[in-house]
Amino acid sequence: MKEYQSDLLIIGCGIVGLTTATLAAIRNPSLSMTLVDKNLIGFGASGYSAGFSTPLAKTDTENGKKLIIEGSSVMQELQDHIDLKLKKKQAYYIVGATSINNFQKYYIASDLEDSNDCALKTKCSIGNYLNIPTDKKIYFSRQSAHCADLPMLMNQMSLFLRRKAHMIFECSPIHHMDKEHITLESGVSLKSKKNLFTTGPWQYGEALQKTNQVKIKKVAALHLASIPAEDDPAIIFFDEKAFLLPLPEKGYWLMSFTSEDWDVAPKQQLTFSEKDLEIALGILRKYSNELGDLFSGGRVFCDHYSPSGEISISTLSKANLLVEGASGSGYRFSYAIASQICREFLT
Ligand SMILES: Cc1cc2nc3c(=O)[nH]c(=O)nc-3n(C[C@H](O)[C@H](O)[C@H](O)COP(=O)(O)OP(=O)(O)OC[C@H]3O[C@@H](n4cnc5c(N)ncnc54)[C@H](O)[C@@H]3O)c2cc1C
């Protein structure tokens, strides 16, 4: 069976693996790459993602802030080479009086304006359903949030990579791995100078036990049956770590919230539990008597969470690198992570 040699082998073609490969191809055109996924591209967490990105840091650390700043410049760098179909979203942030300091610390952009209930109601097609408690402060952001259709984005990236003659093996589980080679179940043998493991919420065997006490948690979002207007803004409930995202092209509003179901596995069929619905509908009821009635199903998968909530890159050995801890924000941090890998691992 054929052997393929390359400078870099990427195992796992979710948004993190594909963004890294795309950026590496742009920054270093002579780098040869092979990508492998045991499923079709988009089968993992990335295929379920809401693809929403705000400039809110995950942690109040220098690294947390750096990831936001670097991510936004890398996104621009990619845009210069591929016409990424990202949609800018105006956004309202609803923040409790006692959280304002934290919010201002975590929001890493300079476009915040003070706003009010009346503006939100006027600008938003579901505004009349919303009653924002008077002790909440409302901020408006004109341009720092966007959303991406991740299946489409991953398709754009894989097309770009194939056009540059990089090999992508889909539905190709790994049969055997040693220091020299990775052999696929099809018998194809892959040899590379460096391996990057971006397997998302899947653990890759004993040899690559997650190093950062990563745990797998359910991630769920409701779909609300109200067709958004093209220019509807997103609404972020900062205290509840939840948001309402208008998806006019899909014909519904998506409500993201934090499920508390830990230690699930990507191989099992994941569904909403009663507890998930209780959490989500409880948040909606704080702001609206009607929105909960629009519940019309949703999407459920899982993601890999690190204790700090930050994505980390672990060097397993000189040739093996593992990305872990996407923590429900793997899309918006994928640009910065890709850049960090290109800078620190591929030079
Ligand atoms: C419902 C939902 C909504 C979300 N909304 C947002 C959002 O709005 N904004 C945001 O930033 N993030 C969001 N996220 C989180 C984000 O989608 C994830 O953090 C991100 O997609 C993780 O990407 P990944 O590349 O690490 O993993 P994945 O997309 O899971 O990719 C991993 C890939 O590795 C492959 N693989 C696994 N094991 C092997 C193996 N042994 N050999 C070969 N291939 C293997 C899998 O088949 C898979 O394709 C959401 C997630 C969910 C589930």
Residue 318's CATH number: 3.50.50.60
Residues 25 and 7 in one domain: yes
pLDDT for residue 207 is more than 90:
no
Return the best residue to mutate from 303, 311, 335, 341 for the ligand 1 pocket (most ligand atoms within 8 A of CB).
Answer: 303
CA of 53 to the centre of ligand 1 (A): 15
Based on the domain organization, do 232 and 136 belong to the same domain? yes
**Average pLDDT, integer, range 13-18:** 98
183 and 294 co-located in one domain: no
The per-residue pLDDT for range 74-123, each reduced to its tens digit, is 999 999 999 999 999 999 999 999 999 999 999 999 999 999 999 999 99
Q: Are residues 31 and 178 in the same domain?
A: yes
Average pLDDT over residues 309-334: 89
Structure-block tokens of residue 70: 């670097």
Ligand 1, atom 50: closest residue by C-alpha: 49
Domain shared by 130 and 12, yes or no: no
- Average pLDDT score over the chain: 93
State yes or no: pLDDT of 206 exceeds 50: no
Same domain, 56 and 102: no
User: At residue 133, what is the residue type?
Assistant: P
User: In this structure, what is the dihedral angle of CA atoms 315, 321, 326, 329, given to the nearest 10 degrees?
Assistant: 110
Best substitution site from 9, 10, 20, 38 to test ligand 1's pocket, by max atoms within 8 Å of Cβ? Answer: 38
- Distance from the CA of 15 to the center of ligand 1, in angstroms? 7
Among 20, 60, 108, 54, which Cα is nearest to 310's? 60
* Protein residue with its CA nearest to atom 22 in ligand 1: 330
Q: Which amino acid is at 320?
A: N
Q: Which amino acid is at 322?
A: L
Task: State whether 291 and 313 are in the same domain.
Answer: no
Domain co-membership, 131 together with 207: no
Same domain for 240 and 162? no
- Select from 143, 40, 44, 49 the least CA-distant residue to 91: 143
Boundaries of domain holding 293: 89-145+215-305
Same domain for 155 and 186, yes or no, is: yes
The count of domains in the chain is: 2
